[in-house]
A and B are shown apart, each in its own frame.
Chain A
Amino acid sequence: MLLSRMVPTGFNDLRREMDRLFQDWMPGDGNFFRPSVFPAVNVWESGDTLYAEAEIPGVTMEDIEVSVVGDELSIKGTRKPMPEGDYTFHRQERGTGEFCRFVTLPMPVNAEKVEAVLKDGVLSITLPKAEEAKPKKINVRTS
């Protein structure tokens, strides 16, 4: 399972101790403080544009697919497994494999003009709002 981080370091120490405590008898991997979604997504708006961002370190351009249908954004991809070699694991916190995430946007966007950039493991998506979703200023005339 792919894991994502959400909380600052201080809490991580406690969380790790708690994880260790519960690991023995919890089903699954016992990490119930961690979100079980990957990738975590931030969405914000500024003026006439929505922005979505996800941290997907280790995923290359060829392994990612971003699409928008109506007001639904989907991010699909694969994180490749470990490098080749006769390595043994001491610690494995980084998940690998396929992931798929759907995000329902709060308003329709102009799918034609959506742009996605992947840089240093950060996927940034710019989603211009659809014309009908933009706020319109209504002129008030004196009669």
Chain B
Amino acid sequence: MTTATAVEKREGKVRPEPTRGGRIYSPNVDILENREELLLLADVPGARPEDINIQYENGELTIHARVDSRTEVGEAQFLACEYGVGDFHRSFQLGESIDNSKIHAKVKDGVLTVHLPKTEAVKPRKIAVKTA
């Protein structure tokens, strides 16, 4: 569970340096783990694959998804506005136990899936017991 604690501590503390206007939102995520990998699912509605930037550096995973406004400025008159549209950004401290050459990600229906395979060193290994 060391990974979960690390995620908890740093999450939300890293601020993106905005290079364009607009609001930045923190996506809702699920973080899962099994023997082989950590799996991260993030809701990034409106983001296309080419607009998503994922970086893993010094044990820190950063997700940035660029989302452009979907309403034409000027003409539109809002009658109900329950959410805002803007980029998604979030960082996670994952420790050093991730094999960064094997990280792969895909996006489908606005959900980003990032597979973070563990390094061989930290994978649990079952030791076969033989009879003498």
Interface on A for B, CB 8 Å cutoff? 3-6, 8-9, 12-13, 16, 35, 37, 40-47, 50-51, 53, 55-60, 82-83, 85-94, 103, 106, 118, 120-122, 124
Contact = CB atoms under 8 A, between A and B. Distances in A.
Contact of B34 (A9, A45, A88): A88
Contact of B33 (A51, A87, A120): A87
B60 interface: no
B83 to A, nearest CB: 4
B29 to A, nearest CB: 6
Contact-residue size bin, chain B (C-beta under 8 Å from the other chain): 35 or more
Given A90-B3, A122-B45, A51 B83 contact: no
Contacts of B19: none
Most buried by A among B4, B32, B81: B32
A44 B12 contact: no
Contact of A82 (B1, B25, B30, B109): B30
A11 B24 CA distance: 11
A55 B110 contact: yes
A120 B4 contact: no
Contact of A45 (B39, B77, B109): B77
B111 interface: yes
